[in-house]
Amino acid sequence: MSKLKEKSLSTQVQRICCPNCGCSAAERYFLPEYRIIRTQCGTCDYLMVMGEGGKVIEAYAPGQDS
């Protein structure tokens, strides 16, 4: 019998400027095991979680009108 190779999925983190407040402390997490991209800012509490195809799963942007 042949052994199946387990594919290693690793999280990648990217520092970006926050799309809400503009500071450079925001981080974008690429989470392939969950098939999502999570962007968050510790300065203004911004959060955006997107799934496959750019579908917004969860979002919170203080100070922004809906």
3-state helix, strand, coil in the chain (%, to 5): 5, 40, 60
Q: List the structure tokens of 42.
A: 């510790």
Q: Where are the domains of the chain?
A: 12-60
Q: Are 36 and 51 in contact, with CB atoms under 8 Å apart?
A: yes
Both structure tokens of 58: 């969860």
Give residue-wise pLDDT tens across range 29-62.
999 999 999 999 999 999 999 999 999 999 999 8
Predicted model pTM:
0.76
3 state SS of 64: coil
